[in-house]
Amino acid sequence: MSAKKNTEQKKEDPRHDKLFQERMASRRDELKWLYMELYSNRPMYDELEAQLLSYYHARNEELKARDIIRESYPEWYKQNDLLGMMFYIDNFAGNLKGVEEKLPYLEECQVNYIHLMPFLDSPEGRSDGGYAVADFRKVQPALGDREDRPSRTAACHEHGMNVCMDFVMNHTSEDHEWAVKARQGDPEYQSRFFFYDNDYIPKLYEQTVPQVFPTTAPGNFTYLPEIGQYVMTTFYPYQWDLNYRNPVVFNEMMYNFLYLANRGIDIIRIDAVPYIWKDLYTSCRNLPHVHTIVRMMRLISEIVCPGVLLLGEVVMEPEKVVPYFGTVEKPECHLLYNVTTMATTWHTVATRQVKLLKQQLDIVNSLPRDYVFLNYLRCHDDIGWGLDFESLAKDGIGEVSHKNYLNAYFQGFAGYSNSRGELYNYDPVTQDARFCGTTASMCGVEKAGYEQDEAGMAKALKLDIMLHAYLYMQSGIPVIYSGDETAQVNDYTYKNDPNKAADSRYIHRGKMDWERVEKRKVPGTPEYKIFTALEKLSEIRRREQVFVAGAGTWTLDTWDPSILGIVREYGGDKIIGLFNFSEQDRMAWIHEDDGQYRDLLTGEVREASGIGIPAYGFLYLKREN
């Protein structure tokens, strides 16, 4: 039976209990049907339903009130007032208490959505940046304690902040209590993973399952010589894949999910969601039962904690990402990452050609307006070149050669590049690799600063600001990585840490440079120029209703290969965004004959026709009504 029931019992307000029963009654039939279809186990379903009530009783009054407000206004996250920032707690502020102390700074950044990168207990040196969880209910000791979290999230809520965290449900650390007992030979706990006493089945899996990290962690299984068994480890040997064919696994992980939600988390990021169901003779990616599990998670959250959003991490091409929204009738994730657009953006920087990016945005803009994406220029992870190579091939661009060019460009070796950064997981056989670097370093700020090149710095800052302006123009929620608001560059000190030296992703996960942050107040500094520019863009986005997620959005032909045009229209308002991805002055050959337009940054009134855009420049033009 289940090992972690909820023990936080309290007397419940009859009005709230009635509300729970109403939510449960409207969803019970579907939840039970999906569960029984997957597991055919009535006792385990009954246990799950009983625990949902228990976790609901344990949810505090403030969170229940928050749920009711959001339940009555389900479009709350689709407006134009959410701006996200992501960071590692230790690098940003030392610990959870430090984050609370930095809330005024986050407010100054106009941020109201903070993604706290993995902070649950994980073994040092074997955590993959915190994604190998040893205890889903314990904070890393250096960051805080078990009871620290609710008070910190409450403080965030008082400052108008929504809190996001990672829920790593595909696997556990090898130090997790289940894994420890499985390694000791306990068959009950081995059944919660994928254990085999010989390599026959593992070799069958290897025939069809791709490798995630073929150079640093080849294969999908790890041999445990002390017990003579193989265990599935899709990512790293210390991350053991959970077996969701076992209903105990699903139930227990849902209890962990609800426990975290009850700590005041507003957005739960489901890590590696496409991987959570495994079938022999398949790729073990995006299988139908994954959607069954995510749909059940959505139902469970709507019953117990409807104010909580599910964010799916699906780092794949659009046709594989979109299904994780579910359908209008049966939704799954509230939010998904716009990963292909991110990668295509950097392709556009390196080629100065907007054609592919325009095609990608056309795909996203053609989707139902109910779908909300998180948009970003970079995150904690590497940049993988998951581009539309079929389209590129029509222009004579080969996949291998172009990936090589992009990696050379962003290292500063090709294409008149000013970028700096490092490769991640380079495979000498396939020549494939990903790229790592901060936004500022990829735009040339690091190089210009090192060379004390004032002209180069001005150009790098223009590119950086233009990319953020373009980011804010996309449909969805913009999320920036901490330090990007002050043009923080690559941090090479990770090479001095033996637990990080082999992982180049730490180059852009560096500690927040608070001395640099203080320069945001000094006119003329790069930090001031970036910070004030992003401040202005955020103000425009909050003020103008066309930036709501449901606005009509489409690309505009500019008849210049380096200028991207985006139009947003809502409630009678219309804004045109023009973005020059070239280091040369260019002309946008547009002709909008529906009146005059006002430049939202300068106040100048002009015709939206034949507009010159300076090198790495941009315009926000609003139609005068």
Tokens representing residue 148 in the block: 């620290």
Cα distance between residue 492 and residue 510, in whole Å: 8
How far, in Å, are 92, 103, 229, 451, 462 from residue 128 at the CA level?
18, 27, 23, 34, 34
Within its chain, how far is the Cα of 276 from the centroid? 18
Cβ(179)–Cβ(240) below 8 Å: yes
Tokens representing residue 435 in the block: 């790229």
Burial grade of 454 (CB within 10 A; 0-12, 13-18, 19 or more)? exposed
**Contacts for 6-15: CB closer than 8 Å, 24+ residues apart:** 6/51, 6/54, 6/55, 6/58, 6/255, 6/258, 6/259, 8/54, 8/57, 8/58, 8/262, 9/54, 9/57, 9/58, 10/57, 10/58, 12/57
Cβ(440)–Cβ(446) below 8 Å: yes
Burial grade of 608 (CB within 10 A; 0-12, 13-18, 19 or more)? buried
CA max distance for the chain: 76
Place of tokens 């100054």: 108
Within its chain, how far is the Cα of 409 from the centroid? 25
Cα distance between residue 522 and residue 588, in whole Å: 34
How far, in Å, are 147, 176, 191, 223 from residue 232 at the CA level?
34, 15, 12, 9
Cα distance between residue 318 and residue 345, in whole Å: 15
Comparing CA positions, the residue from 516, 528, 487, 427 lying closest to residue 211 is: 427
Cα distance between residue 531 and residue 67, in whole Å: 34
Q: Which residues participate in catalysis according to the annotation?
A: 271, 313
Cα distance between residue 36 and residue 49, in whole Å: 13
